[in-house]
Amino acid sequence: MKQRAKTALLYMVDIIAINAAFYLALYLRFDGKIEPQYLKVYIDNIIPIT
């Protein structure tokens, strides 16, 4: 696999891991029921978070 492809793959894995961790933190914080206003804040900030 070429170096660019490896780097791109690592970036994608990193983006997925960061967003999954943030979502899991919200999920655990609210005992599985994320309130809509907090979910909206998460969705609005997906790009800045990653």
Q: Tokens 């997906």 — which residue? A: 46
Q: CB within 8 A of 4, min separation 6: which ones?
A: none
C-alpha angle 34-39-43 in degrees, rounded to nearest 5:
150
Amino acid at 18: I
Structure tokens at 8: 């791109």
| pLDDT tier for residue 50 given thresholds of 50, 70 and 90 | confident
Query: Minimal CA–CA distance to 12: which of 1, 4, 23?
Result: 4
Instruction: Write the pLDDT tens digit of every residue in 18-49.
Output: 999 999 999 999 998 999 999 999 999 998 88
Structure tokens at 12: 């994608």
